[in-house]
Amino acid sequence: MGYKVAVVGATGNVGREMLQILAERSFPADEVVALASERSVGQVVSFGEDDELRVQDLSRFDFKGIDIVLSSPGAKVSAAFAPRAAEAGAVVIDNTSQFRMDPDVPLVVPEVNPGAIAGWCKKGIIANPNCSTIQMVVALKPLHDLATIRRVVVATYQSVSGAGKDAMDELFTQTRAIYVNDPVERKKFTKQIAFNVIPHIDSFMDDGATKEEWKMVVETKKILDPKIKVAATCVRVPVFIGHSEVVNVEFERPITADEARRALRAAPGVSVIDHRVDEGYVTPVEVAGEDNVFVSRLREDITVENGLSMWIVGDNLRKGAALNAVQIAETMIRDGHL
């Protein structure tokens, strides 16, 4: 017998990807329900190549009988519906920032801390980390196991799909407007995004960091190791899908680029494409639609003790969001939690 699955936020970028990935991976579901806010009710969303689902109203939906909820509706919506769904007996795997730092909610990347899933029963909720954190910790985990990471300095180059469908439209519309000499209109982004980069993702905090940067710091500590220091600068770039990161790491012990490459090649969820020639590295347009996190440009950094630099790229909608959530559900089934 299969599971009953509900996808919340089914009309959004991540919700659509969740439905696609459930179908693609033949997730053992007897029934899949698409839920969203009242204004999307009646819309039809694709489920795999051949099927379609009619969107139902989240606010009126009775979660009784649902086993697994995969959700990405926005933090406020999750705050309101997730406890209700968990109360009705479902496990909620939530992709928003709402529950990530709750000590009673595990924050999980299956390749990194699958053991944390056991804590799901405290609230019936598991949090999916932020996309820029996920792809970084997948690559850092095997290196941490090898030489113990002390400090990470990361700069991100994040695609507009992380900010939703409207943001993707804004990049397209602005790019077109510039080509045809129309006025450039801003809606979602605080500055022009076409042919530009914006060092600002999510809201500003009191210390001058943005919330996106703060998330990379605290989520890395919760998932990988509270002792790791992280300095992050998050930047939006005019790329549709795929986040990239320049990551500089300081370790406790010496580690060569060759050792790191070998460890990364053996690690789950990582592909190393690192040839020191033209085209011997990976860019975001090449990883859109891929499941793995890709590492290129690995090299020793001799300006610090035991330092390495690298370039990490991942599909932010897949491993950075929907795929990670589905993998959490798959791990729960494999390990007998469901």
List residues forming the annotated binding site for substrate. 158, 236
| Residue that the structure tokens 């039809």 belong to | 44
Binding residues: 11-14, 39-40, 100, 158, 161-162, 183, 236, 316
Identify which of residues 144 and 243 has a Cβ nearer to ligand 11C in the complex: 243
The set of residues, in sequence order, having a beta carbon less than 8 Å from that of 310 and lying 6+ positions away, is 139, 246, 247, 249, 260, 295, 296, 297, 298, 299
Q: Count the neighbouring beta carbons within 10 Å of the beta carbon of residue 183.
A: 7
Distance CA 78, CA 301 (A): 42
Identify which of residues 111 and 212 has a Cβ nearer to ligand 11C in the complex: 212
Instruction: Give the footprint of ligand 11C on this chain (CB under 6 A).
Output: 96-97, 130-132, 158, 162-163, 201, 212, 215
Binding residues for phosphate: 100
How near is the Cβ of 228 to ligand 11C at its closest, in Å?
19
How near is the Cβ of 123 to ligand 11C at its closest, in Å?
19
Closest CA to 73 of 109, 42, 34, 131: 34
* 315's tokens: 């599909």
> Is residue 81 within a helix (H) or strand (E), and if so which, with residue range?
helix 75-87
Identify which of residues 131 and 298 has a Cβ nearer to ligand 11C in the complex: 131
**Bridge pairing between strands 91-94 and 29-36:** unpaired
Identify which of residues 36 and 255 has a Cβ nearer to ligand 11C in the complex: 36
243 is catalytic: yes
Catalytic hit among 121, 131, 200, 234 = 131
How near is the Cβ of 167 to ligand 11C at its closest, in Å?
8
Catalytic hit among 144, 243, 275, 337 = 243
Task: Give the residue nearest to ligand 11C (CB).
Answer: 162
How near is the Cβ of 128 to ligand 11C at its closest, in Å?
8
The set of residues, in sequence order, having a beta carbon less than 8 Å from that of 118 and lying 6+ positions away, is 106, 337
3-class DSSP state for residue 173? helix
- Catalytic residue ranges: 131, 243
